[in-house]
Chains A and B, each alone.
Chain A
């Protein structure tokens, strides 16, 4: 661990642990203090990651967290965030600003009766929640998630009771209000528990108001027996921002996860997703689309653990990269010894719109059972010249024809997004972004 920061000559590890000491002195009384200590210990074990770490092969972590101070929120009101709220969620909206739960900005009047939501501090008073959070922090394998645990001060816990079929779609809006100094971080922490046989619909959207911030989040989704979770994760951060997230999914018996991940592009986005299919009958579906231009980067690091028999997983990634942007998908499905009759598919499709754009794919399978059906594949391609000619031969300009073809590439993912307002926004913004890049 010798990656030195140029300015100070101090290694990021030392710097982090120093600032953590100060942090603990100031905040020693909160319910988070034990998690904070576990996080720091775990970080010490893992070290500050660099590209030799398998988990960060494609990600340049240098100077991502240049200092470990927490971003402090300046004034913010409802008007500032209105544009980030999806129309079906106006009355089922829960807002975090720089990781802090903000009741004054939230509107939960349309939320289904019985759905509980509390701030992180309150949530940790519940011993079961605390046990889960602290034990997963002890086993944390991602240094940035450990940093989140080390400095986390608040968060959000949503509890959907057993058998509740939600009518409302909850939007969790995690706003970054811009750091005062470059490199300051916010560390949102979200925990959602869907009780047995519950049906939950959730959108988590990351958005920024200004500046060069680093949002380093951890989100956990626990899905009970027979329960279903429809989740859309949307990253609409500022162009200079960096967004690292660790998402853990725990799927119990006969549970279903249907997820979409949408990246609008930022300076550096990294999504680490870990799904554990713990009991027979669990079903995991993930569709992901990213549209990048300029020097934007989006990296996915996905691990799906089939720990029980008769589970299925299906992942499909599509990345559109233009200019000098970069994407990577490093996805491994691990089928444990007893996970017979596993069904698993993984497909990564990349569309390169420029010679300087870069897309890495690393689909992988580790199979320890002998009666399974698993596939994986990846493609890298450019706009099809024959298709382009066909459209031009009908009078469409080169720019419009390319936009249409690019849009068509993303269509199969976009049409699977569960919530119409998210889909509409993706369609409009996606198209707009691609139009702007053309020329």
Chain B
């Protein structure tokens, strides 16, 4: 589904990724773990098409197409979803209305008819249950004044509504208390199936107690330096990232 080959890039001339490669098949959950500031988020932003971040070399093939060639909205419509580490607050944009617009954009992209607001409301209610979100957040402005936990739940709600094929969750666990973490993880698990793939970017092993990865990759100095099963995450938890740090760091 996704094949990243020797990807290099960063922002404003800073090369953060230095030959990053990864292959993801449907039905797989990949965890990318690494120390803070190692460039994990840069990877997420390049994959989602953030305008400031740029790939300087390498290839990303998603469902047979060159992902880097696509606009951010096109990537989203094709089923790529980035769960933001820091979801933006947009006062003045109604949460439910925004979700409906995004949902409709996807329907139109698939050549289907837009859904009417009442029908969408039913879908939304159901999805909100899955992610354990209070229905009152429908009428709030998008992330405006939400707590950290609510924002992350709202990311997962967006994911639940948009049903992406490939979801990249960037530090979705950071800043969450254990209850919120369980709810978010539970939501993610219920949305996962054999046709979908998930890349979980995290600094802490804790999330992986609730979202079970098939592969754990250690990310350091712009590339994957070790790959293993979920036991690797436990080892990282115990020994830290020290042994992976580039010399001189």
User: Chain A interface (Cβ within 8 Å of chain B)?
Assistant: 384-387, 389-398, 400-401, 404-405, 407-412
Contact = CB atoms under 8 A, between A and B. Distances in A.
B118 interface: no
Contacts of B48: 389, 393
Contacts of A396: 73, 101-102, 105
Contacts of A397: 73, 105
Contact of B88 (A387, A407, A412): A387
Interface in B59-99: 71-73, 75-77, 81-82, 84, 87-88, 90-93, 98
A392 B162 CA distance: 13
A389 B76 contact: no
Contact of A404 (B77, B84, B93, B109): B93
A405 B90 contact: yes
A401 B71 CA distance: 13
A153 to B, nearest CB: 44
A319 to B, nearest CB: 15
A410 B93 CA distance: 10
Contacts of B162: 394-395
A401 B75 CA distance: 15
A393 B101 contact: no
A397 B108 CA distance: 12
Nearest to B76: A395
B220 interface: no
Contact of B92 (A386, A391, A409): A409
A35 to B, nearest CB: 45
A385 B51 CA distance: 8
Chain B interface bracket (under 10, 10 to 19, 20 to 34, 35 or more): 20 to 34
Greatest chain A CB density within 10 A among B71, B72, B84 is at B72
Nearest to B73: A392
Contacts, number: 77
Chain A interface mostly: helix
Given A389-B51, A392-B76, A395-B109, A408 B91 contact: yes
Nearest to B159: A394
B50 interface: yes
A394 B92 contact: no
Interface string B149-177: 00000000010001000000000000000
Contact of A386 (B82, B88, B91, B102): B88
A395 B73 contact: yes
Given A410-B92, A411-B91, A393 B51 contact: no
B49 interface: yes
Given A393-B82, A404-B98, A412 B76 contact: no
Contacts of A407: 92-93
23 contacts: A387-B88, A387-B90, A389-B48, A389-B51, A390-B88, A392-B76, A393-B75, A393-B84, A394-B98, A394-B102, A394-B162, A395-B73, A396-B102, A404-B90, A405-B90, A407-B92, A408-B90, A408-B93, A408-B141, A409-B92, A410-B92, A411-B92, A412-B92
B92 A393 contact: no
A400 B97 CA distance: 13
A393 B91 contact: no
Greatest chain B CB density within 10 A among A385, A390, A398, A400 is at A390
B106 interface: yes
Contacts of B50: 389
Nearest to A397: B73
Given A390-B90, A408-B92, A395 B98 contact: no
B173 to A, nearest CB: 20
Contact of A394 (B76, B91, B141): B76
